[in-house]
Amino acid sequence: MMFEEYFNIVIIAIMSLGLLLAFIRFIKGPTASDRVIALDTVSVIAIAIMVFMAHIYGRFIYVDVSLVYAVLGFIGVLAFARYLEGGV
């Protein structure tokens, strides 16, 4: 294996570990705000994985998909925050 392949495996492992830890916080989170923050973290890590996979496979259409997912995730977090704040 070349150095680049080892590097890709290490990056995917680190992102997977972060995703697992964020999911654990989402499940265990004692408050709703902890769960919203964990869900936002999962969203950010998923976006990073999509961009990294686009780089690996050379299919840059996945970058566009990840940008749309990022905008929708941001709007979703704002909606949850507004709901938790008690606003309409």
Q: From residue 46, how far is each of 9, 36, 55, 71, 74 by CA, in Å?
A: 16, 15, 14, 13, 13
Domain with 51, as residue range(s), is 3-85
Phi and psi at 59, nearest 5°, equal -105, 95
What pLDDT sits at residue 45?
95
Cα separation, 55 vs 69, in Å, equals 17
**DSSP alpha helix (H) spans, 1-88:** 3-28, 32-57, 61-85
DSSP 77: H
Number of domains in the chain: 1
What pLDDT sits at residue 84?
86
pLDDT means per 10 residues, the chain with 88 residues, are 87 95 93 90 94 92 93 91 81
